[in-house]
């Protein structure tokens, strides 16, 4: 083995060692940030600080610095917002590009197969034309026998190729259907909150706009409900974020179990949730709000690992109803006003915009 080969191997080994050392250094800085800013060391938060430490995403780093200036730590709401805004879209975009490339490649191969089939068909047609002309010159059984053999051979070749093409088309159709399904899955995931399985804020905004347009045109009622788990920050601080996540999942399950039809349940942000209620009057929305609130309050929380009772949680609810010429911002603002009134009035209650003492013209605090 010559010295140049040895030198190349040495260079590759050194480069590999440098990459390992660099990633370890970034990982150590990420962990130090988690400790410094009192942030739970869950995979999502580690990924946020890893990208921040690597300097790969300036916008993400700016958002982290802004959040730290505001709260001196990275809150659950900050981490969730930063992840959804700066990391999750990139991951979904990469998945879409990958599947899109696969579909493009499959279509190109399919077009090539079809073009080849067209050529084969043309050749077969020319062969038949030639055989037809030869038939006009047949003067003996032996000549006819030769022509028949040519015809059988050409027909068999075309039949075999047609069968192969049919199989290729069927295979391509299946592959394209599978890739289309993968794209639909990616799209669904991009509109779903990964922790609770509910729709995320992006999906909520899309559906609210659609339902408001339909309500505007049809005159049908439309209500929107904002819900917040009472004293959830204190619960998180006492029992930890993992237990807090279990509470969020339980809350989401209770919500889904009590809605039906076109009603959309969404995680609005942090411990705040929302439900869009098409073709639902305000009185029915208030009844549903109380139904969910009572279902949540009836559940005693038990820590699985120890059997320890963690008590019960309660929720506050604010409900608004669509008015002609409403904007989404106005509908949300009024629901938020009612939610604030429920919180300020002692929590564990439902407030709607027609309740006494609700001043919907005043901005929520």
Which tokens is 32 given? 């130090």
* Distance spanning both ends of the chain, measured CA to CA: 76
DSSP string, 169-230: HHHHHHHHHHHHHHHHHHHHHHTB-TTT-SB-HHHHHHHHHHHHHHHHHH---EEEEEEEET
Cα–Cα distance between 220 and 261 in angstroms, integer? 15
Report the candidate in 101, 46, 54, 102 with the shortest Cα–Cα distance to residue 74. 46
- Spell out the residues 6+ positions from residue 20 whose beta carbon is closer than 8 angstroms to its own: none
Residue with tokens 């909150």: 193
SS3 351: strand
Task: Reply yes or no on whether 271 is catalytic.
Answer: yes
The 8-class DSSP code of residue 140 comes to S
Q: Write down the catalytic residue from 211, 271, 272, 353.
A: 271
Distance of CA 133 to the CA centre of its chain: 64
DSSP string, 62-130: HHHHHHHHHHSS--HHHHHHHIIIIIHHHHHHHHHHHHHHHHHHHHHHHHHHHHHHHHHHHHHHHHHHH
Cα–Cα distance between 285 and 221 in angstroms, integer? 11
Helix (H) / strand (E) containing 352: strand 350-352
Report the candidate in 208, 213, 193, 217 with the shortest Cα–Cα distance to residue 264. 208
SS3 for 257-321 is HCCCCCCEEEEEECCEEEEEEECCCHHHHHHHHHHHHHHHHCCEEECCCCCCEEEECCEEEEEEE
**C-alpha distances in Å from residue 287, one per residue of 190, 208, 222, 270:** 32, 21, 15, 25
Sign of the torsion formed by the C-alpha atoms of 203, 209, 212 and 218:
negative
Catalytic residue numbers read 271
């Amino acid at each position: 083995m010559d010295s140049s080969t040895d030198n190349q191997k040495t260079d590759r080994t050194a480069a590999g060692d440098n990459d390992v050392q660099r990633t370890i250094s970034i990982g150590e800085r990420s962990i130090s940030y988690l400790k410094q800013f009192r942030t739970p060391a869950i995979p999502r938060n580690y990924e946020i600080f890893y990208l921040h430490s690597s300097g790969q995403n300036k916008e993400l780093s700016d958002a982290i610095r802004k959040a730290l200036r505001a709260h001196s730590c990275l809150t659950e709401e900050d981490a969730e917002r930063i992840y959804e805004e700066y990391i999750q879209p990139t991951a979904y975009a990469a998945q879409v590009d990958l599947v899109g490339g696969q579909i493009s490649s499959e279509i190109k191969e399919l077009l090539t197969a079809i073009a080849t089939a067209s050529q084969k068909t043309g050749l077969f047609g020319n062969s038949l034309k030639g055989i037809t002309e030869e038939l006009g010159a047949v003067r003996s059984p032996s000549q006819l026998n030769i022509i028949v053999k040519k015809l059988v051979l050409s027909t068999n070749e075309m039949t075999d190729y047609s069968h192969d093409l049919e199989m290729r088309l069927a295979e391509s159709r299946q592959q394209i259907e599978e890739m289309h399904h993968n794209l639909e899955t990616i799209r669904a995931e991009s509109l779903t909150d990964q922790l609770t399985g509910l729709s995320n804020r992006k999906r909520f905004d899309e559906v609210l706009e659609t339902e408001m347009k339909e309500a505007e045109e049809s005159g049908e009622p439309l209500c929107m409900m904002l819900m917040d788990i009472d004293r959830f920050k204190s619960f998180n601080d006492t029992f930890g974020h993992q237990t807090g996540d279990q509470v969020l999942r339980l809350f989401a399950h209770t919500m889904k179990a009590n809605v039906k039809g076109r009603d959309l349940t969404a995680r609005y942000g942090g411990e705040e949730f929302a439900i869009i209620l098409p073709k639902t009057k305000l009185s029915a929305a208030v009844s549903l709000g109380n139904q969910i609130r009572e279902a949540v309050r009836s559940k005693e929380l038990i820590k699985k690992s120890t059997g320890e009772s963690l008590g019960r949680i309660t929720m506050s609810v604010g409900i608004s109803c669509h008015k002609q010429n409403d904007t989404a911002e106005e509908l949300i603002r009024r629901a938020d006003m009612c939610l604030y009134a429920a919180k300020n009035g002692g929590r564990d209650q439902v407030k709607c915009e027609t309740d006494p003492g609700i001043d919907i013209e005043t901005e929520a605090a």
